[in-house]
């Protein structure tokens, strides 16, 4: 597949599978009161911060904003990209527990077993040792099964960012197993040296042209109406 063709396919995938799905879920799920576990004291305080009053709109914004702007899309991002790599034939789902994908590295032509992470700050200190244990377990399994695998074939692939941005937690892992990030990761996966930068540019253009259809406001207004009619709050 040619580079421009792959760029176009992945750009469309981002739009349809990530951004459009986010929009659909925002209206279908996150605008429903039942999808939230509510701390009534905290949401009243947040309503006051947002609207300077305790109102259905304020409560709706306090619930809806963090869900839509944070958790709902960030949670699905890595899984969607993992599925995309498999669907496009860039990688296979890994049969080894603890690894996400397997692919032939286009730089050194060796098979790589890879766990995927989204960005350079997406793990915490308590994630480091469990990740190292997973990688060590795979190494031991490979030796037991006489697989021709060395430590550099087990990688942590980080989808965006650059080496200088890697947190100290990633740097600790990188001392034992390679952490491959951003431009280098996409080069190894696709075979195109500047693929990552071109993809970022494509995505920037696509995002600027997205018609949001004002779904954000529609969602919290729907939620506010349900809150107003609910017995959970007394706005008198």
What is the per-residue pLDDT for 146? 63
What is the per-residue pLDDT for 139? 85
What is the per-residue pLDDT for 51? 94
Residue by residue, DSSP assigns the chain as --HHHHHHHHHHHIIIIIIHHHHHHHHHTTTSGGG----HHHHHHHHHHHHSS--HHHHHHHHHHHIIIIIHHHHHHHHHHHHHHHHTTS-EE-SSTT--EEEE-TTT--EEEEEEESSTT---HHHHHHHHHHHHHHHHHHHHTT----GGGEEEEESSS-GGG--HHHHHHHTTS-EEEHHHHHHHHHS-TTHHHHHHHHHHHHHHT---TTHHHHHHHHHHHHHHH-SS----
Which stretches in the chain have pLDDT values below 70?
145-146
Q: What pTM did the predictor assign?
A: 0.88
What is the per-residue pLDDT for 74? 83
What is the per-residue pLDDT for 105? 97
User: What is the fold of 3-229?
Assistant: type ii restriction endonuclease, domain 2 (3.40.1560)
Domain range annotation of the chain: 3-229
What is the per-residue pLDDT for 149? 77
What is the per-residue pLDDT for 76? 82
């Amino acid at each position: 597949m040619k580079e421009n063709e792959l760029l176009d396919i992945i750009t469309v995938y981002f739009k349809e599978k990530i951004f459009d799905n986010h929009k659909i879920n925002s209206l279908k799920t996150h605008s429903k009161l039942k999808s939230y576990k509510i701390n009534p004291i905290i949401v009243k305080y947040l309503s006051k911060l947002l609207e300077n009053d305790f109102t259905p709109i304020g409560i709706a914004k306090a619930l809806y904003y963090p869900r839509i702007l944070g958790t709902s899309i960030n949670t699905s991002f890595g899984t969607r990209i993992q599925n995309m790599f498999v669907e496009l034939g860039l990688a296979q789902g890994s049969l080894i527990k603890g690894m996400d994908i397997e692919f032939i590295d286009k730089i050194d032509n060796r098979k790589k077993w890879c766990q995927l992470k989204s960005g350079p700050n997406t793990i915490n200190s308590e994630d480091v040792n469990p990740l190292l244990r997973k990688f060590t377990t795979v190494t031991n399994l490979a030796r037991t099964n006489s697989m021709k695998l060395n430590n550099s074939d087990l990688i942590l692939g980080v989808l965006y960012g650059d080496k200088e941005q890697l947190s100290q937690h990633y740097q600790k892992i990188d001392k034992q197993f390679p952490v491959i990030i951003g431009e280098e990761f996409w080069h190894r996966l696709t075979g195109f040296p500047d693929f990552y930068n071109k993809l970022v540019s494509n995505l920037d253009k696509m995002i600027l042209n997205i018609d949001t259809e004002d779904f954000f406001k529609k969602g919290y207004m729907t939620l506010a109406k349900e809150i107003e009619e609910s017995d959970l709050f007394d706005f008198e």
